[in-house]
Amino acid sequence: MKKFLTRLTLLLALPALLLTNALPADFSAEPYLAPSNPFSAPAAAPDFHPPMALPDICETENEVFMPGEKVVYKLYYNWNFVWLAAGEVTFLVHELPDFYHIMVRGRTYESYEWFYKVRDNYESYLDKKTLLPRIHIKDVNEGGYTRYDRTSFDQAAGKAISSRGRTRDDLEDQEIDLDECMHDLISIVYYARNLDYKDMKQGEEIPIKILMDREIHPLSLKYLGPEPKLKVRNGGRYNTQKFSPQLIAGEVFKEGDEMKIYVSDDQNRLPVLIESPVSVGSVKAVLQSYEGLRYPMTAKVE
């Protein structure tokens, strides 16, 4: 069961998605996780597009989200045919001169914490020209397990430096060789939202690669076609497009498990429902609230 809550929701992409507690998130009261000089990492990726790269994966123009966007998901866990409200995950978009600063906060509800307690914080600084990560920060506390990891990306040089430890006071550095145009757990969500699927064929797969926990994972995102008037728990009905990301078998997912992501069929391309089995039971992440969207939510029909 360990770590499944956070990993599932961050792999919205999704990546993505994470949980917040039952009270409204108050980010101003939490410690700021970024370094005092977040641009001490290697220089931003230059304008380049390596051969054999997917169109736009190295230089993606953001036409979907904007600073000030806040999206909250409620997470349910199914255990012995009973659906339990486990927690929430909040995504926030801030703007810096050359970067989007994405903050993700996950908390379990107090009513769930007799079983498992999560206090997770993730951040990424995304280059505005490419939507590729410059810095990714992971600061998690899951059932008493703690881990801090600050990864600096040098996309041009194909290198990353991961500074990792149980806390921020006992970090050890590790250099990682990167493939071209490498994403992290957060950046891949916002890259995927900028995909134009109007010309995609049902069953078509989009190859992606992410750096997670110091390892590169080659994955794929399969397009499953439209799903009109999808009912979302306590949220009405939405016209959606359905996708299925390839999962990483191991502690969280079993071989052959299939996650389904339903994305609003409008210009926001916002995940409204995520369903997936896990090693024990299954989970759902349900869109609970949103504000600051770039476009009206025209996919909502009821």
Closest residue by Cα to residue 38 from 125, 168, 119: 125
Question: pLDDT-based confidence at 276, cuts 50/70/90?
Answer: confident
Tokens for 288, please give them.
């609970």
Contacts of residue 296, defined as CB under 8 A and 6 or more positions apart, other chains included, come to 266
Q: Is 296 helix (H, G, I), strand (E, B) or coil?
A: coil
Q: What is the dihedral of CA 195, 27, 97, 136, to 10 degrees?
A: -60
What pLDDT does residue 57 have?
63
- Among 32-41, 97-106, 111-120, 207-216, the least confident range: 32-41
Q: What is the pLDDT of residues 151-202, one digit of tens each?
A: 999 999 999 999 999 999 999 999 999 998 899 999 999 999 998 888 889 9
Question: pLDDT-based confidence at 242, cuts 50/70/90?
Answer: very high
Tokens for 180, please give them.
């071209």
Rounded distance between C-alpha atoms, residue 38 and residue 36, angstroms: 6
pLDDT exceeding 90 applies to what percent of the chain?
53
pTM for this model (two decimals): 0.81
Contacts of residue 45, defined as CB under 8 A and 6 or more positions apart, other chains included, come to 58, 127, 129, 130, 132, 134, 155, 156
Q: What is the pLDDT of residues 277-293, one digit of tens each?
A: 766 667 889 999 999 99
Q: Are 123 and 136 within 8 A, CB to CB?
A: yes
Cβ atoms < 10 Å from Cβ of 167: 10
- 100-104's contacts with Cβ under 8 Å and 24+ in sequence apart are 100/62, 100/67, 100/125, 100/126, 100/128, 100/131, 100/190, 101/34, 101/125, 101/126, 102/126, 102/186, 102/187, 102/190, 103/27, 104/10, 104/16, 104/17, 104/18, 104/186
Rounded distance between C-alpha atoms, residue 121 and residue 181, angstroms: 24
Cβ atoms < 10 Å from Cβ of 280: 13
Q: What is the pLDDT of residues 191-234, one digit of tens each?
A: 999 988 888 899 998 888 889 899 998 888 889 999 999 999 88
Higher pLDDT, 20 or 69: 69
Most confident range (mean pLDDT) of 33-37, 234-238, 242-246 is 234-238
Tokens for 297, please give them.
């939510």
Work out whether the CA dihedral 50, 51, 52, 56 comes out positive or negative.
Answer: positive
Tokens for 142, please give them.
């899951």
Closest residue by Cα to residue 269 from 82, 13, 28, 32: 13
Q: Are 108 and 19 within 8 A, CB to CB?
A: yes
What pLDDT does residue 24 have?
29
Helical residues (DSSP H) of the chain, grouped into ranges: 4-10, 187-193
Q: Are 181 and 53 within 8 A, CB to CB?
A: yes
Average pLDDT of 90-94? 97
Which is it for strands 159-165 and 133-142: parallel, antiparallel or unpaired? Answer: unpaired
Average pLDDT of 99-124? 91
